[in-house]
Amino acid sequence: MLSQELGIKEIFENPKSVFSLLNPEEKEELLSHASITVFRKNEFIYKEGDKPSAFIFLIDGKVKIFKEGVGGREQIIRMTKPMGYVSYRALLAEEIHNASAVTLEDSLVCMVSPDHFFGRLLRNPDFSARILRKLAQELGFSNSRTVTLTQKHIRGRLAESLLLLKEKYGFENDGVSLKAYLSREDIANLSNMTTSNAIRTLSTFAGEKVIAIDGRKIKILDLHKLERISKLG
């Protein structure tokens, strides 16, 4: 059940949470400078062009970060999972948001005021080091994705996107179903292709017994072959 009490408990006790690095005094102080909010499925957390209003952290749910391209076409540039950051780059850079964030399912979000983020949290060396590490990791990921989305063929791009979803969200209890139910349009936007190409390529993968499709549920039947398709591009 998504709730504020669950959110506070999660961000303090989960070792994957950057807030777990705070000392008891800092955690107590954070309570008066943070708000826990439930965003419903397909609800915007912020939009491209907005001024950053908080350090935003995902407690539970799934969020996509996307940018609008030519003709209003979306390009998904990042997916966020629980205990991940939804917004911090624009805040640190003192820039407007250059992308939008929208929920893929009901999500629980923690928002920390900019004053407290800069004046208190970043003064904790462990907290700051985690933020810097995350920035560096995302820069490396962004560099790799730029090459992928511009040089790989359609099959390689779609295979990599499915592997990205596996790494980000994992499998259901059956060990093969991706724990992320994206629309065909979202899969296309993640893979830098048209929706019709995404549908056609998914059908081809299914025909080759690499995956199985049941509505929005995708099962990876041959992980080794999917990895090979992604590598060959």
Q: For position 6, what pLDDT does the model report?
A: 60
Of 18, 19, 62, residue with least CA distance to 43 = 62
Q: Which residues of the chain have pLDDT under 70?
A: 1-7
Q: What is the pTM of this model?
A: 0.88
Q: For position 203, what pLDDT does the model report?
A: 97
Q: For position 105, what pLDDT does the model report?
A: 94
Name all domains of the chain by residue range, CATH numbers in brackets.
4-148 (2.60.120.10), 153-232 (1.10.10.10)
58-to-19, 71, 135, 180, 195 alpha-carbon distances in Å: 12, 30, 16, 16, 28
Q: For position 4, what pLDDT does the model report?
A: 57
Beta bridge partners of 195: none
User: Which residues have CB under 8 Å from 158's CB, separation 6+?
Assistant: 187, 191, 193, 198, 201, 202, 205
Q: Where are the alpha helices (DSSP H) in 89-173?
A: 89-93, 114-119, 125-151, 154-169
